[in-house]
Amino acid sequence: MKGIYWLLILLTGCQTTAPVIIPVNKSPSTVVAKAPRKPQEAAKYRLLGLDYQKQKRLSEAIKAMQKSVDLDPENAIGKVNLGWALHLASRDIEARKVLEQVTQEHRDNVFGFNALGIVYLVMGDLSKAVETHQKAAKLKKDNEIAYYNLSLAYHRLGRYEQAIIEGKKATKLEPNNPHPLVALAVIFWDQGNLKHSKEYYRQAIVLDSSYRDLSYLEHLVKAGFSNGQIQTVKKILNYSL
C-alpha cells in the first residue's frame, strides 16, 4: 500500500503460529494475520498437478496447482504452473491474470514471461505478445521459445522482415523442432517468396513426416498458430508435394 511502511513481527514459540504484520503508522487494532508458507507441502501439490497435466486431467491439475499456490503464494514457479494449466484448459482470461501477477512480482522470471507471451499471442493481443516475448528474450538470450513466438506475432502484424529474423534465431537454437521451420514457411509464403517457403516446409517434413498429412496440421493451434496461419500451411503443403 503506497505511503505505508510495514513492520514484520515474527511471533516465537509454537511453529504453527502465523506471523503478524502491523503497519507502523496504524494502531495494533488493524493487525492482519498472514498464513505461514508451507513450501514442502506446496511442492507435493505442484508435482501432483504436473502429473495430472500429463494425463490431460486439466481440471484436477488446476485444483492441485491452485492448492500449491495457496500453500506457498510467494513461489513463482507455482504460479507459472497454475497459469499454464489454465491456458491449456482454454481459460486464458484467468491464465492471463495469474501470469501478469507473476511477471509483476518476479520481473526476472523468464518462464512467467514466456507463458504470458503465449497467452497474449493466443488471445490475439499481438502488441503485448511482442512486448512480453521481447522481455523474455532479454532475460535469456538463447530463448528459442521467445524468438519462435515473436516470429508468429510479427507475421500476424505484417512485419515480415522482423518475423524472418526471429524465426531464424529460433531454428538455429532448436534445429530439431519443425515448428519454427513451418512458421518461416508461412512468413515467406505471405511475403511472396514461394521458393523459400517450399524449402523451409520440406525441411520440416524431413524432421517430421506427419507434415505430409493435411489433417495433422490442425495440431498447430497448440503451437500458437492462428487459424489463418494454419490455412496458409495447408496451401504450402499442397504446393510443396
pLDDT at 82: 98
Residue 232 pLDDT greater than 60, yes or no: yes
pLDDT at 35: 66
Residue 138 pLDDT greater than 50, yes or no: yes
pLDDT at 36: 76
Residue 43 pLDDT greater than 50, yes or no: yes
Residue 17 pLDDT greater than 80, yes or no: no
Tens digits of residue pLDDT in 149-183: 999 999 999 999 999 999 999 999 999 999 999 99
pLDDT at 168: 98
Q: Does domain 37-139 have CATH number 1.25.40.10?
A: yes
pLDDT at 183: 98
Tens digits of residue pLDDT in 193-231: 999 999 999 999 999 999 999 999 999 999 999 999 999
Cell 505442484 identifies what position?
46
HEC states along the chain? CCCCCEEEECCCCCCCCCCEEEECCCCHHHCEECCCCCHHHHHHHHHHHHHHHHCCCHHHHHHHHHHHHHHCCCCHHHHHHHHHHHHHCCCHHHHHHHHHHHHHHCCCCHHHHHHHHHHHHHHCCHHHHHHHHHHHHHHCCCCHHHHHHHHHHHHHCCCHHHHHHHHHHHHHHCCCCHHHHHHHHHHHHHHCCHHHHHHHHHHHHHHCHHHHCHHHHHHHHHHCCCHHHHHHHHHHHHHHC
Give CA–CA dist 101/49, Å, rounded: 20
Domain residue ranges in the chain: 1-36, 37-139, 142-241
pLDDT at 240: 86
Provide mean pLDDT across the span 89-98.
98
- And the C-alpha cell for 65? 496447482
User: CATH top-level class for 142-241?
Assistant: mainly alpha
Residue 75 pLDDT greater than 90, yes or no: yes
Question: Are residues 234 and 217 in contact, defined by beta-carbon separation less than 8 angstroms?
Answer: yes
Provide mean pLDDT across the span 80-87.
98
| Residues 220, 224, 226, 229, CA torsion sign | negative
Q: Give yes or no on whether 37-139 and 142-241 have one common fold.
A: yes
Residue 14 pLDDT greater than 70, yes or no: no
